[in-house]
Amino acid sequence: MKYAFSHLQTIDELVLAHKKIILLTDFDGTLTSIREHPDLAILSEEIRQILLKFSQNKTFFLGIVTGRSLRQIKKLINIPNILYAANHGIELEGPGIRFCSPEAKKARYNLWHVYMQLFKSLRHIEGIYLEDKGYAVSLHYRMVKKTSDMDLIAKTFDSITKPYIERNALSLSPGKMVYEIRPPVTWNKAVTIQWLLTNYFPLNFGTDALLVYLGDDKADIEVFHSLKGKELTIFVGNPSETTTADYFVYSPDEVKTFFEHLYNLKYKNAHGQPGENAKSI
């Protein structure tokens, strides 16, 4: 895996070889830094303005692919007429599409039951945050300080979720300092993007479009693997954590710089001049 800003010429040649760009990006850890509490992860106005420019330029098709709920991510991004793939693709909403997995709807009762059991058993632990995302439940433990509490969380979580997992009523998807309980569906970020590539993206983005995907978590690494050798994939974070992406950048700040470069590269190519707020890299 190569550092993106050390190989901009190669990236630029690939980008300029395609008329259209399908730009898909994760949210937490990619557009914003990972925070101790999910509610603290606020999109900066600078990043939002860059995303807004992508959404208004017909060269780009913009999508946000996230583990957050649809309601949550739409509020955080606050840009209309783009694709939102929420709860790892279980919920989809965008131009011409509105979808929620029927299997996820069926699992809602079990998810709520697990949520209540975890809440009653772990609510006394300082630093724990239990999140009901509608079609998933997330148990965040980043702010838990005591080792004894961590052990209790792991044991309690296992005892409550195990019966559901064993009978395939629910599934687990671990992330960065979070346990996520999901419906028992083979529908994740990687599967969602493959489905979108085949069934959704507009025709004028289907024949000569380059898909650019950015992410930082295990679910994103699955996407990198599924797209290997076909598209442009960029991991955000420590490069020792994955080898499946084509390139890496270190932080959301560098994602912002890359987005500015990408927009201005295509703008200059189309208009023969740098885009607004162009910067040299």
Q: Which two tokens stand for residue 110?
A: 């079990």
Residue 166: give its domain's CATH number: 3.30.70.1020
Q: Is 177 left (phi over 0), alpha (psi -120 to 50) or beta?
A: left
The Cα–Cα gap between 182 and 106 comes to 12
**Rg, C-alpha atoms of the chain:** 19
Asked if 8 and 60 sit in the same domain, the reply is: yes
Domain boundary among the residues 151, 182, 213 is at 182
Query: Phi and psi for 193 in degrees, rounded to 5?
Result: -65, -40
Asked if 62 and 191 sit in the same domain, the reply is: yes
Asked if 7 and 142 sit in the same domain, the reply is: no
Each of the 281 residues of the chain gets a pLDDT tens digit; together they read: 899 999 999 999 999 999 999 999 999 999 999 877 777 788 999 999 999 999 999 999 999 999 999 999 999 999 999 999 999 999 999 999 999 988 888 999 999 999 999 999 999 999 999 999 989 999 999 889 899 999 999 999 999 999 999 999 999 987 778 898 999 888 889 999 999 998 898 766 766 899 999 999 888 988 999 998 779 999 999 887 667 899 999 999 999 999 999 999 997 776 665 545 444 44
Asked if 208 and 83 sit in the same domain, the reply is: yes
Helix (H) or strand (E) holding 3: strand 2-3
Inter-axis angle of helices 8-16 and 252-271, nearest 10: 50
Q: Is residue 278 part of a domain?
A: no
Residue 86: give its domain's CATH number: 3.40.50.1000
Which residues constitute the domain of residue 45? Answer: 2-100+187-271
Got the DSSP string for 58-122? TTEEEEEE-SS-HHHHHHHH--SSSEEEEGGGTEEEETTEEEE-HHHHHTHHHHHHHHHHHHHHH
Contacts 24+ apart (CB under 8 A), 122-127: 122/152, 122/153, 122/156, 125/149, 125/152, 125/153
Q: Is residue 279 part of a domain?
A: no
Q: Is residue 71 part of a domain?
A: yes
Contact predicate 253/238, CB 8 Å? no
Asked if 110 and 156 sit in the same domain, the reply is: yes
Asked if 125 and 255 sit in the same domain, the reply is: no
How far is CA 217 from each of CA 27, 40, 78, 147, 179, rounded to the nearest angstrom? 10, 18, 23, 24, 13
The Cα–Cα gap between 179 and 150 comes to 12
Q: Is residue 223 part of a domain?
A: yes
The Cα–Cα gap between 54 and 56 comes to 5
Asked if 192 and 166 sit in the same domain, the reply is: no
Q: Which one, of 75, 29, 79, lies nearest residue 54 by Cα?
A: 79
Asked if 136 and 211 sit in the same domain, the reply is: no
Asked if 7 and 86 sit in the same domain, the reply is: yes
Domain boundary among the residues 154, 182, 210 is at 182
Asked if 14 and 148 sit in the same domain, the reply is: no
| Total number of domains constituting the chain | 2
Q: Is residue 227 part of a domain?
A: yes
What is the pTM (predicted TM-score) of this model? 0.86
Q: Is residue 281 part of a domain?
A: no
Q: Is residue 177 part of a domain?
A: yes
The Cα–Cα gap between 236 and 5 comes to 13
Domain boundary among the residues 128, 148, 182 is at 182
Q: Is residue 276 part of a domain?
A: no
Asked if 224 and 117 sit in the same domain, the reply is: no
Q: Which two tokens stand for residue 23?
A: 């730009």
Asked if 27 and 143 sit in the same domain, the reply is: no
Query: Phi and psi for 64 in degrees, rounded to 5?
Result: -110, 125
3-state secondary structure of 5: helix
